[in-house]
Structure 1
Amino acid sequence: MKQIVLFIILFNLVFSQDRREVGKLIMENVPEIPKEVEERSRQYRNTRSATCRSWLHDGSGMIIGTRFGETSQIHILEQPMGARSQITFFEEPVSGGNSCPDPNSNGFLFSKDIGGSEFYQIYYFDLNSGESAMLTDGESRNGLGPWSNSGRNFAFTSNMGNGVDMNVYMGDINGNHTPLVQEPGYWFPRSWSPDDSRLLVGKYVSINESYVYIVDVKSGKMTPFNPSDERISYGGAAFSKDGKGIYYSSDEGTEFRHMRYYNFARDKHTILTGHIPWDVQGFSQSDNGRYMAFTTNEDAISHLRVVRTAGFKEMKIPELPMGRVGGLDFSPDGSRLAVNLNAPRTPGDVYVLNLRNRSLTQWTQSEVGGLDTESFSEPELIHVNSFDGLRVPGFIYRPSGPGPHPVVVYIHGGPESQFRPSFSSWVQYWVKELGAAVLATNVRGSSGFGKTYVQLDNGYRREDSVKDIGVFLDWIADQPDLDQDRVAVFGGSYGGYMVLASMTHFNDRLRCAVDVVGISNFVSFLKNTKAYRRDLRRVEYGDERDPDMRRHLEQISPNNNAKKITKPIFIIQGYNDPRVPVTEAEQMRDVIRSNGGDVWYMVAMDEGHGFQKKFNRDYYANAVSLFLEKYLLD
């Protein structure tokens, strides 16, 4: 009889929750959003950004991505600060926008999925007719690659062959596609040779191991580029515009990915950025081959450089503010360079650098809801010495006033990713409206700090990164303007795992936590993540098929240590998530509740790995703010 009563009590604890639905959101124990929270966040919810996707083939304007409704769509912009003419009108967000270089065509490629499933399909949009056509099978996962120089074909990656391996195909705007690489693993296209007879392709194994091959398009013969016994990580790779060599970035023989050039005739590799002790993040060449632009990632801050390819001499250009720079794209005539700039105080916008007079012109000015951006917090770069002496970086956003201020510790996902200073309306909201400092961490395992650093959390060393969070908590305690007794942790994806692990390790030092699409058990995660991702994740986390590793993964998984969590937690999930399945959130919710814990739970039925639709994002952000007000500020 006692067992029956105990079962009823546990059932009521787990399942008898305050459940309600708003739109496609299903929530448990999440209160209704007060009007004052909605009103206070209104301006922050109405910021937007813009990115250059490509120049039009004649250089008369550019294709940009921005949002005026629920999701980001494709627009055309014909002049600086001109009207943005919306071209696509889908319920789902649209990626791509790659303009066809064929002068006889007038259209672009784009891709989209359904409900965050990440089974992206590729489409061609004809600007003459205003109609789009799906070019892929409607079922597989596909990724856009580059147009051929003639514009008659484009390359793309797809798992249409067996649903697992991502292989390389050549397609055209009529929906025809020809396989070019049919091999096990994760393959993707990189660059066409000037005469379109060859295609550079990549094979990704892990962030520390990748390969480049040259494929003869006609015969299908695949030749390894730069074969080596060393495990090498490649960044970008592209044929030079004169066809005499290949530009590429790699960490061969070095700690960071340097820009290099391979000369076919001389069979010689040359390092071009050896004087810069940081990763080359991305690069682009002008069509005439005269210029190259590239960015370096220096302590998580972007630096743009433009060089003349003859002699690789750097040009003097206007200095850009601290933030993220990307989307480098030269105009067809090579006289202008479009860049996307996202800074901590301003949303992402498009700028154009005129290479003739070195002037920088802003092409878009994204809305900030009428907010005074000059009052926003600028992050400060800090470093801590971790338990083993490792120097670990982070960024602190401080509110005005003496404090002591509560703190939100932000942990990025990946884990092979990096927090980089850029615009976040919600970080600024927490700082200015809630009076909370935000400490964004780049714990060991983060990318951008060298190939040694990124491997320091692999396999059996997983919890060393969690120990780094403990050292950041020590740092908070030493700051007179920060309140060590009011600290929350926030993170998504792998950052969600780090949030849960932090709660099991530092429960007594934390007030509350927000876990967004986080991993709660590595074994169940590896079993249920989509098949095309599974082997890639095993390299990072460990292979659960090995008995010793399986025991280790079970031992460190947060759901098996949930009894240590006694503080409130907000778990947020997209129902269609192909990366971290909804079952990871559900099992963590249930085990904490079975222990009598306080859990807010939100699942979006039309989202995947993160929220893309404005209504969902707004409600989620308001709910998080309400959660922090209740459990962190009080």
Structure 2
Amino acid sequence: MRFFSKFFATLLAVVLLPAFMAVAQTQTITPGDNLVVEGIPPIPVSIVQSVERYTNFRAASLASWHPKRREMLISTRFADTPQVHLVKSPLGARKQLTFFPERVAGGRFQPTQGEYFVFSKDIGGNEFSQNYRYDFATGDITLLTDGKSKNSGGIWSNKGDRIIYTSTRRTGKDNDFYIIDPLDPKTNKLITQVEGGGWGPLDWAPDDSKILAIEYVSVNESYLWLLDAASGEKKLITPKGGKEKVSYGGAIFSKDGKGLYVVTDKESEFQRLAYVDLATMQPTYLTTDIKWDVEDIDLSDDGKNLAFVTNEDGTSVLHLLDTATRKEKPLPKLPVGQVLGTNWHKNNEDLGFTLVSARSTADVYSLNIRTNKIERWTESETGGINTANFTDAQLIRWKSFDGKTISGFMYRPPSKFTGKRPVIIDIHGGPEAQSRPGFLGRLNYIINELGVTVIFPNVRGSSGYGKTFLQLDNGFKREDSVKDIGALLDWISTQPQLDKDRVLVTGGSYGGYMSLAVATNYPERIRASINIVGISNFVTFLERTEGYRRDLRRVEYGDERDPKMREFLLKISPLNNASRIKKPLFVIHGKNDPRVPLNEAEQIVATVRKNNIPVWYLMAKDEGHGFSKKRNIDFQFYATIMFIQENLLK
């Protein structure tokens, strides 16, 4: 239910040897014309050959069940980008339905007949997604939105005759609500105007008369509303102005429409599952005994069973609740990893989900709750590598500067590597995300073949550890999270198997800021840093990030329009401390990034170069907030391997 961005997302992405690259007579590869490459030495073909199998991992995720048949839409990549595929049986053939140069998101069957589906797609990673209809009878694709604004994928009505979605088309920054019959794009209608970019639909009432919506203010504050599906009139159902800020991670109507199943941290440190009676708005908490966040819920079509997933120290645990008795039903144990996107079939027996673990790339499964039988629907390629031998995550903990316990996950290289091992610290984005055990994809090459230990820390401000921990880096406390990495460096120095003198720090998005901040605060304790789509100056970032997300980010980072906060943000920004960066830097960015604009990369590159520090720079003209096209991901990986070899391993 939470949004998160995890560094090295581009390195963890599923991925075939890129056809765009020319091999020169000098046995180096030539980047495509879409890439701007500065300061990066020619990449030898030998690197391409040595990593090739690790670039051929694929993954699959569940998009939608067919309403009448036991078939599903999935997302996977055969060529350069993920597209929508149809799978008609467990481990059946994957039939590709969409063929675009850009990645395709969603794939939501019309929920009564399944004769068409709706999907979303942007251009060049700009995140201004448009919705389209795919007709099975003809294969025709029809644009449903305006082609210009940012649109959400939307939610189907129960009758299957309408979708409610949000769009920024009115102001460019407010997520207004629109309703459309996808069979007739002319029916598109604005029903409710709102202020802010944090609004979204959650569910339709069983009779389709009302729509449940969320107003997201921050990771610690959100509100639930009811919208009248005919008039668009909205009614706040969770009060504002109380002493406690409350977050709702999700909500759905009960089958009779008299209540809601919600995920909330109201009166709790963690996100709990609760039933809320709409007549009294009084919650009944259903998971008080679980001291971890509930993060995903889905109700069966008959309303009898509620599936939910808990995040227990980074590991997903699947649960099944009988809504009549409100007691859990026993389920078979799943491998340690992450369970994503639970989705009931209308037969009320099959629960579909995506499962990923350290030794298994993301694939689609279903669980029959009558028989407890688990079936695998996809078996994604792993480049011919036996992933059962991959290293598993080890949970580690260390004390920070103020006595707080910080945790993370460590992946060690195989035993063939002896002596103290070099370390890569990989910091997640968000900042309210969480590093969790999962399939590392290409990163396994760095661990298995280069002998590097990789640590994914969850510094203060990470989700999954309670709302108090989540707020420990807000506003003027921003650099406390950087100190958590300083404490991690102290911990590394005490570990006999780790080399404190060979440490590289990296991260993406907010993790990119963190990697730059570590490079400015602890320059003598690292060998190099990699900044992917990261923030270099909080003020210029807040002033230039897209309007629909600017206020949402101010809640987390602070409002740059306030003089005292502006002064603080400028003081801690890596750009204004770049003279302290003493070690080589690699900066990676997409030209079309709407979240962290390209200027954030350009200004840190120019400034650090003035100090005569080696800077590698890679920019993709056809990407946004992280690379999504395989050919670009491949080149980034080759360059990253060479940067590691030059600056960490020598």
Match of 2:37 in 1: 27
Aligned residue runs from structure 1 range 223-302, under 5 A: 223-228=235-240, 229=242, 230-265=244-279, 267-302=281-316
Among 193, 202, 213, the residue aligned to 1:182:
193
- On the 8 A contact 2:31/2:635 being kept in 1, the answer is no
Question: How many angstroms apart in 2 are the aligned matches of 1:586 and 1:472?
Answer: 29
Q: Report the secondary structure of 2:149's partner residue.
A: coil
Find the partner of 1:395 among 401, 409, 428.
409
Does structure 1 residue 554 correspond to structure 2 residue 570?
yes
Instruction: Please state whether the residue corresponding to 1:561 is helix, strand or coil.
Output: helix
Deviations 1:223-257 (A, max 9, x none): 21132523210011111122121110111111111
Percent identical residues? 48
Task: Name the structure 1 match of 2:361.
Answer: 347
The separation in 1 between residues aligned to 2:237 and 2:292, in whole angstroms, is 23
Which residue type is aligned with residue 285 of structure 1? L
In structure 1, the partner of 2:331 is 317
CA contact 1:47–1:367 (8 Å) conserved in 2: yes
Q: Is the 8 A contact 1:165 1:532 kept in 2?
A: yes
Whether 1:98 and 2:114 are equivalent positions in the alignment is no
Q: 1:59 aligns with which of 45, 48, 69?
A: 69
Alignment of 1:202-601 (within 5 A): 202-228=214-240, 229=242, 230-265=244-279, 267-401=281-415, 402-601=418-617
SS of 2:583's equivalent in the other structure is coil
- 2:163 aligned with 1:136, yes or no? no
Residue 14 of structure 2 corresponds to none
DSSP 3-state at the match of 1:38: helix
Q: Name whichever of 451-460 and 257-266 sits farther off.
A: 257-266
Distance 2:496 2:259 in 1: 56
- Contact 2:360–2:388 (Cα < 8 Å) also in 1: no
Matched, 1:108 2:145: no
SS class of match (1:495): helix
| SS of corresponding position for 1:203 | strand
Tell me by how many angstroms 1:21 deviates: 5.0
**In the alignment, residue 571 of structure 2 is paired with which amino acid?**
Q
**Is the 1:302–1:324 contact (alpha carbons within 8 Å) kept by the matching residues of 2?**
yes
Query: What is the match of residue 24 of structure 2?
Result: none
Aligned residues: 615
* SS in structure 2 of the partner of residue 144 of structure 1: coil
Q: Deviations over 1:309-354 (max 9, x none)?
A: 1112211111111111111011111111001001111100011101
Aligned-pair distance for 1:20?
Answer: 8.0
Amino acid at match of 1:217: A
Equivalent position SS for 2:49:
helix
Q: CA deviation at 1:265?
A: 4.8
| Alpha-carbon offset, residue 527 of structure 1 | 1.0
Larger mean Cα displacement after TM superposition, 160-169 or 437-446 = 160-169
* Distance of 1:268 and 1:163 partners within structure 2: 37
> Per-residue CA shift, 1:347-387, capped at 9, x if unaligned?
00011101111011111100000012122110101111111
CA distance in 2, matches of 1:341, 1:51: 8
Unaligned runs of 5+ in 1: 1-18
Q: Please list the CA deviations of residues 187-240 of structure 1 after superposition, one character each: whole Å capped at 9, or x if unmatched.
A: 110000011000001101100110000111123222211325232100111111
CA contact (8 A) 1:285 1:330 kept: yes
1:78 pairs with 2:88: yes
Aligned residue identity for 2:361: P
Structure 1 Cα separation of the partners of residues 474 and 277 of structure 2 = 36
User: 2:7 matched to which residue of 1?
Assistant: none
Distance in 1, Cα, partners of 2:600 & 2:283: 46
Q: Give the Å deviation of 1:444.
A: 0.4
What residue number does 2:172 align with?
Answer: 163
Alpha-carbon distance in 2 for matches of 1:600, 1:154: 46
Work out whether residues 314 and 464 of structure 2, in 8 Å CA contact, stay in contact via their aligned partners in 1: yes
Structure 2 residue matching 1:22: 3-state secondary structure: coil
Q: TM-score, normalised by structure 2?
A: 0.93
Looking at structure 1, the residues matched to 620 and 231 of structure 2 have their Cα atoms a distance apart, in angstroms, of 47
Distance in 1, Cα, partners of 2:459 & 2:566: 24
Q: C-alpha distance in 2, partners of 1:461/1:525?
A: 18
Could you tell me how far apart the structure 2 residues matched to 1:585 and 1:181 are?
A: 38
What residue in structure 2 maps to residue 120 of structure 1? 129
Say which is worse superposed, 152-161 or 221-230, in terms of deviation: 221-230
- In 2: Cα distance, 1:297 partner to 1:375 partner: 25
TM-score for both structures, normalised by structure 1: 0.96
Answer 1 or 2: higher relative contact order, Cα 8 Å, separation at least 6.
2
Corresponding residue number in structure 2 for 1:6:
none
- Whole-Å Cα distance in 1 between the matches of residues 47 and 60 of structure 2? 27
Find the counterpart in structure 2 of residue 15 from structure 1: none
Q: Deviations over 1:422-460 (max 9, x none)?
A: 112122111001100000010001111111111111111
Find runs of 4+ consecutive structure 1 residues off by over 4 angstroms: none
Distance in 1 between residues matched to 2:389 and 2:80, nearest whole Å:
28
SS class of match (1:80): coil
8 Å Cα contact 1:507/1:564 also seen in 2: yes
1:40 matched to 2:54: no
CA RMSD of the aligned region, Å? 1.2
Q: Which residue identity does 1:69 align to in structure 2? A: A
Are the equivalent residues in 2 in contact too, given 1:20–1:26 (CA < 8 A)? no
Secondary structure, in 3 states, of the residue corresponding to 1:486? strand
